[in-house]
Structure 1
Amino acid sequence: MSEFASKVIVITGASSGIGAATAKELSKQGALLSLTGRNKERLAQVADECKNLGAKDVLYVVGDLSKQDDMERIIKETAEKFGEIHVLVNNAGFAVISPIADVTLDEFDRCFNVNVRAVLYLTKLALPYLEKTKGNIVNISSFLSSMYTLPGFTIYTTTKAACDHITKSSALELAKNGVRVNAVNPAVVETNAYTNTGFSEEQSKAAYVEQAKLHPLNERNIKVEEVVDAILFLASDKATMITGNCLRVDGGRALTGQ
């Protein structure tokens, strides 16, 4: 039996990409899932797929992580249904790709609200439950969070640097309570990220082809499943003495500085 069987796991940004893939893998292991996202139709579809894959039970809560009330409702409804929380996966993210000269404060606020403010506030809200279960948190950051960046990514990379610091600071603070906090920092993963920032399908495909060449290991982009494997490892009992770690899943790309 999987160690995740009957454990309550909250996953944000679960309607697509890394969040959906994580939910589906945990479903195969009999987890109890609380999924959240903004798109009700897609979220409901993922929830149904999770049930069919073996999830013991699935709650889905439609919510916008830029809104305080929605974040509070997500944790409240999870606690009301399941009574406890074992793992929080802060996966939801928003990217702004724009030259500094064109950036708006609305874009800045939206990106920080989802990528930083929500990570911190959901950690606070889930903490009383995680302390009781000696649970853990996995934040989804980026390999661009520290030493590396790209033109047009100023806001996004700054939010991911903040995410790493939340990970490390909260890991140190919460260690005394037996709660671990780690992050997964992937390089380019082929999801819907580019189209969500305004790229056409053709532009998105072309961008992924060019990005693939920059990953030294096998010269390909990161598979969603490879990020999921890292999330599940950090959330598992195999990582019982790992906290405050930002685990790069980048095919060696950070070594190149590109």
Structure 2
Amino acid sequence: MILITGASSGLGAALAASYAADGHTLTLTGRNDERLHHIARQCQPANICTLTADLSDASSVSSLFDKLPSAPETMIFCTGSGYFGSLEKQEPDAIAQLFSDNLLSATYFLREAVQRYRNTPLTCAIVMSTAAQVAKAGESTYCAAKWGVRGLVESTRLELADKPMKLVGVYPGGMATEFWARSGKEMDLSRFMTPEETATMLKKALQHAEHGYVSDVTINRY
């Protein structure tokens, strides 16, 4: 079973469609129940379970894992949101929401996953952004949140050094998704990757051999 978070739109939805086409059993989660069911219907006749969850709430994360139909072989965390603009013009409530959607959600998800599956041979991919690698003007708080997630992933990976559970850090560049409209930042998306292109490249990177795996994936756009 493959667990995909943030599956109601963007990269998460594209990954769901791609894995479903290959016949995988999927569990899809997100905050919007209606959109999750819409994605699941598009992926039929694959074996799909949908579970609504707010990953920025620790109890909701715990409940999500309690409800999983089976232990996953792969988990792909695609949850997140954007908020941009010069730092002095950003609103405190929006900044707090940004950190909740990105850093808190990743922390609660990974904490629960490690507690339950640290001794299980599975792959957990945490999707971030190239903003977790390079500072960008006008994206100060977004970079801060994503850099925080990167620190979380790299530090937790050290804690799992002798365990069969493997963490993969994923750093995609700009994708042409609804993310930008919700972030409030106007962008020319004509040269951005589609989520389907990104999903195809990520799926290939997550294939591993008996004695090795790809620990970090950067997917740049031209």
The question of a shared fold, defined as TM-score above 0.5 by the shorter chain, is answered with yes
For the 8 Å contact 1:137–1:235, the answer to whether it is kept is: no
Give the match for residue 208 of structure 1.
Answer: 189
Unaligned runs of 5+ in 1: 1-7, 210-219, 253-258
For the 8 Å contact 1:87–1:137, the answer to whether it is kept is: yes
Give the match for residue 22 of structure 1.
Answer: 15
Report which of the two has the higher share of helix.
1
For the 8 Å contact 1:168–1:244, the answer to whether it is kept is: no
Unaligned runs of 5+ in 2: none
- 1:135 is aligned with what amino acid? L
Deviation at 1:165, TM superposition (A): 1.7
Within the candidate set 32, 45, 62, 1:39 is matched to 32
Residues 175-228 of structure 1 deviation map (CA, whole Å, 9 limit, x = unaligned) = 3111111122111100011111236xxx55xx324xxxxxxxxxx322222321
Larger mean CA deviation between 14-23 and 228-237 belongs to: 228-237
Q: Calculate percent identity across the aligned residue pairs.
A: 23
Give the match for residue 65 of structure 1.
Answer: 55
For the 8 Å contact 1:66–1:113, the answer to whether it is kept is: yes
Within the candidate set 159, 164, 168, 2:154 is matched to 168
Deviation at 1:243, TM superposition (A): 5.3
Deviation at 1:68, TM superposition (A): 1.7
Give the match for residue 126 of structure 1.
Answer: 113
Give the match for residue 218 of structure 2.
Answer: 248
Question: How many Å separate the matches in 2 of 1:239 and 1:148?
Answer: 36
Give the match for residue 208 of structure 2.
Answer: 237
Flag as ranges the 4+ runs of structure 1 deviating above 3 A: 128-133
Question: How many Å separate the matches in 1 of 2:135 and 2:205?
Answer: 24
Alpha-carbon spacing, 1:233–1:179, altered in 2? closer, same or farther (3 Å): farther
Question: How many Å separate the matches in 2 of 1:119 and 1:100?
Answer: 23
For the 8 Å contact 1:168–1:182, the answer to whether it is kept is: no
| 1:148 matches 2:138 | no
CA RMSD of aligned residues (A): 2.0
Residues 99-131 of structure 1 deviation map (CA, whole Å, 9 limit, x = unaligned) = 212222222221112211211221121225534
Deviation at 1:132, TM superposition (A): 4.7
- 1:233 is aligned with what amino acid? K
Equivalent pairs counted in the alignment come to 222
- 2:220 is aligned with what amino acid? D
